[in-house]
Structure 1
Amino acid sequence: MRFLRGFGAAVVIVLCGTVTWSDTVRVETGGDFFTAGAVIDETLNTSGDAFASARTATVRGEAQGDLHVTGFDVTSNANTSEDLYAFGATVVVRGKTAEDLTAAGYSVRTEAASQTSGNARLFGNTVVIEGPVAGALTATGRDVVLNASVRGDARIVARSISFGPEAVIAGTLTYRSKEKINVPERVAAADRVIFEKATATDAWDEWDKMRKEMPVLPTLATMLFGFIVSLLFFVVLGAVMLGFMPRRLEKMRQSIARAPGQSMLLGVIGLSMLFGMVPIVGLTIVGLPFVPIVVLAIIVAWTLGYALGAYSVAMRVWVGFGNDAEPGNITRLLVFAGALIVVAMLNFIPFVGWVANYTLVLLGLGAMTNAVLQYLIGNPGEAFDIDMQPIEN
């Protein structure tokens, strides 16, 4: 859970870091430290977690919590009291990591000065391990070079595996390659070396193993259950809206029926404004902690817009077939549920389902945008022309 929380915050700082900034940005909130820019060389002294994102990112100093570094060229000289996560095209680790190290990139290297007290997980095209690992080592790449001591087990998957003079594995070495290699006795005794031949079907075997442990494709029963839950959610949402704001809901529905084209245009405008708020809020720097709130607002608006659009179209079809234009709430909910079922069936038709869903969202958001604009600028109502007649003496 700590990794997921940190990774989520790292995603935010990465997205904000993609904006072209001329200056380095630094923000502290809740004990966590965030920095982003084009090129950063930061000396850390944090009590919580630290996040750094840049095209070229170099960090030094001390991080009392987790350290997350992302960029094109990443260099970590900092000592980390907890976990270190480093991702980039080239990743170099020189500092000490008190717990686990996870690094991924095209070229990944831990230098002799680095020490990992927990487990090390390294992924890249070229992986060079020169820093000692107190726990277990997992290394995956095209070329893997081990030139450090590993106190725990080691698992290496690579096309080319080589060992330097400092390589020592105290636990069991499991390696997977196309051909069996000669593992020096000083690295690991023969009875602690396990060879697994790599084949062309390895990727499929790993996929099949994952599928059996945790099914990736949902079963029919799972899909049906998910649909029923979604249907109940939208029906309850419709009941709440009809119960608490029937007049406003009817007014928005009628605005869609009168001018569907205008509603779609306003929906595009409203949706653009919502998505545009994400980088705008991020650029204010102080608004970085509120970016998740804006994203949540987009999800809520999207859901409400979809429900309103489906309800409005369903009622228009209902009236179009000669039915009562002012039915009871139960009838309205049944019509709404029927529309949701039809739209769900359209999702099985490629492209058509996506267009139908997106159209409903735009219609609903357009009516909501229109209501907000009328509230902000006011609605003067009807204007009457008055003929001014001259006064006769």
Structure 2
Amino acid sequence: MRHLLIATVASLALAGPGLAQDVSRTHGGDTYMAGEAVADTLSATGDVFAAGSVITTSGSASGDIHAAGYDVDVSTQTGGDLYAAGSTVTISGTVGEDVTAAGFSVRSSAAAAVAGNLRFFGRNLTIEGPVTGALTAFGGKVYLNAPVSGDAWIVAKTLTFGPEARIDGALILSADDEISVPERVIPAARITREEWNTGETYRAFNRSWEGVDMPMLPTWMSLFSAFLISTIFLLLLAAIFLTLVPNRVEKMRRRVTRQPLQTFLLGVIGLSALFGMVPVTALTIIGIPFVPFALLAILVVWTLGYLLAAYGVARRIVLAFNGDEDPSFLMKLVTILLAICAVAILNFIPFVGWVVNYTLVLLGVGAMTAGLLSVFITDPDPALDVDMRERIEE
């Protein structure tokens, strides 16, 4: 559930007009932050959720910290657990419990003392902060230059030790190459070496699927479980947006029903532009590494557009039956839940269900496109008024 919250908060940085504005709010004792560049000195009494392109935090947090972005730098003194994911992750503050971090390059500085377990996953791993609990490091290149009071499990292509490296417990070591472990780090009697051949591992994984018959049709329970998980995810996503940016959601929701044709056409344009990003990005050659990000943007915008339009249409139907113009937060969530269920039922009708779903996506994307365009294209009315005034004076 924690990683699901990270993903939903991260979508705020990609959603429509939110690209140009940072979001920071405290709700239920927790702190939520999202934006292009998130930099804050925290004084949080609860948990912290941060997402963006660049994340830099300091200060203190009594609860857990969840951070996801491209470049993540956490110097906060964390009282609970720390979860971080990004291309580059740097941890420079003390952590009262466990640390779990993943990325291309992951590092804990000498000041990042961890009172619990440390779990690092990535291409280049650097551990310089002392670890009171156990160490788990899965990476291509691992550099250990810190004391580890508990056991250690290291899987690496190459492993090097700094002058401060020490393992007080047992070491389970798996590597493609033969790695020599200095006696000052850990005696040989406490080292267990396990063979780890990357190529053979992948071949064994592929062989494990041989002879496995996949079901032709999903069972009823599988369908219900998938629907339940999807519904919970969409409701959680809606709750976060309705909490952090309620005015912007209401503005886009009204556009869906008040200007449906124009919004639909804007949705066609917006979705076409997103899909066109993939081949255009690939044709530039240097943009090939960014193709996965373009595909991710399509997935995020598609999901948010579907949810926004379903909510907008459902609210319009409720208003048609003399519903409340300004319903409570709970009633908004109930409306979204009923809309999701209704659209799911329509999916069982051939062709009609697909048309309804796709139309909702285009309406939602159109509303988001209109909001995004309003950020970059100024209102022409003031200039038009000045021009008309000058003509009258002439």
Q: TM-score, normalised by structure 1?
A: 0.59
Aligned counterparts of 1:103 and 1:88: Cα–Cα separation in 2: 8
| Corresponding position of 1:386 | none
CA-CA distance at 1:205 after TM superposition: 4.3
2 CA distance for matches of 1:139 and 1:154? 8
User: Is 1:304 the equivalent of 2:304?
Assistant: no
Offset of residue 358 of structure 1: 2.1
**Equivalent residue number for residue 8 of structure 2:** 12
Aligned partners of 1:115, 1:17: CA distance in 2, in Å? 31
CA contact (8 A) 1:306 1:364 kept: no
Distance 1:168 1:228, change over 3 A: closer
Q: Deviations over 1:185-216 (max 9, x none)?
A: 1111111111222221213546888x8xxxx9
Question: In the comparison of the two structures, how many residue pairs are matched?
Answer: 273
| Distance (whole Å) between structure 1 residues aligned to residue 112 and residue 347 of structure 2 | 57
TM-score (norm 2): 0.59
Query: CA RMSD, aligned part only?
Result: 4.1
SS of the equivalent of 2:180 reads: coil
Which of 85, 99, 103 is residue 101 of structure 1 equivalent to? 99
> Which one-letter code corresponds to 1:11 in the other structure?
A
Where does the alignment leave 5 or more consecutive residues of structure 2 unmatched?
Answer: 229-260, 268-301, 313-327, 362-394
Match of 2:156 in 1: 158
Pick the aligned partner of 1:358 from 354, 362, 365. Answer: 354
Aligned-pair CA distance for 1:301: 2.8
% identical aligned pairs: 35
User: In the alignment, is the contact (CA less than 8 A) between 1:308 and 1:364 conserved in 2?
Assistant: no
SS in 1 for 2:221: helix
Q: 3-state DSSP class of the match of 2:185?
A: coil
Alignment match, 1:66: 64
Letter in 2 for 1:10: I
Are residues 1:128 and 2:113 paired? no
Does the aligned pair in 2 maintain the 1:37–1:55 contact within 8 Å? yes
SS of match in other structure, 2:63: coil
**Residue 275 of structure 1: aligned partner:** 307
Secondary structure, in 3 states, of the residue corresponding to 1:97?
coil
Q: Alpha-carbon deviation of 1:130?
A: 0.3
In structure 1, C-alpha distance between the alignment counterparts of 2:46 and 2:173, rounded to whole Å: 37
Q: Secondary structure at the match of 2:177?
A: coil
- Tell me which residue corresponds to 2:251: none
Equivalent residues of 2:146, 2:164 under 8 A apart: yes
1:185 aligns with 2:220: no
Equivalent residue letter for 2:72: V
- Larger RCO, structures 1/2 (Cα 8 Å, 6+ apart): 2
2:234 corresponds in structure 1 to none
Match of 1:87 in 2: 85
**SS, match of residue 115 in structure 1:** coil
Paired with 2:32 and 2:165, the residues of 1 have a C-alpha distance of 37
- Please report how far the alpha carbon of residue 143 of structure 1 lies from its aligned counterpart in structure 2 after TM superposition: 0.4
Which amino acid in 2 is paired with 1:50?
V
- Structure 1 position 37, deviation (Å): 1.9
Check the 8 A contact 2:347/2:354 in 1, yes or no.
no
d(CA) in 2 for partners of 1:106 and 1:291? 41
Question: Aligned runs of 1:1-393 on 2, under 5 Å?
Answer: 4=1, 6-19=2-15, 20-199=18-197, 200-205=199-204, 223-226=218-221, 274-276=306-308, 300-308=338-346, 310=348, 358-359=354-355
Matching residue of 1:251: none
Measured after TM superposition, the shift of residue 302 of structure 1 is 4.4
Aligned amino acid, residue 31 of structure 1: G
User: How far is 1:140 from its partner?
Assistant: 1.1
Structure of greater Rg: 1
